Amino acid sequence: MAKILGSTTTYNGTEHPYLRNCKVRIVAVMRRAAAPDYDPDRDGSYLRDEEDIARAGGVTAEDRIEVQPWLADEKRWSFVCSDPRATDLACFASTKKAAKKGGRR
């Protein structure tokens, strides 16, 4: 499985308009946080370790990804994070298609 945490991608969704087309860095995976029955108190729902992500089966369309946007004018990563749906990030766009077929990335 390719490295997820610390990798960079582009936000392509509409839920967070201030991130549209921004370069973002992946900080964590919020397991099933986009699912309608999400329970934030469930153990193992906030993943900040590559091995934990792999054990959980990778990133799915039901996950949210905690990201930091790149502040180009300041040449640094923001200290403020956002949590878009995995499918709204360019690197996980294929999870939307895989979810329809019952797969994972």
Identify the residue with better confidence: 4 or 45.
4
The whole-number pLDDT of residue 97 equals 58
How far is 100 from 78, CA to CA, in rounded Å?
34
**Residue 10: pLDDT band with limits 50, 70, 90:** very high
The whole-number pLDDT of residue 40 equals 80
Angstrom CA distances, 65 to 12, 47, 69, 73, stand at 13, 10, 12, 24
pLDDT digits (tens, 9 = 90+) for 35-91: 999 888 877 789 999 999 999 999 999 999 999 999 999 999 999 999 999 999 999
The whole-number pLDDT of residue 44 equals 79
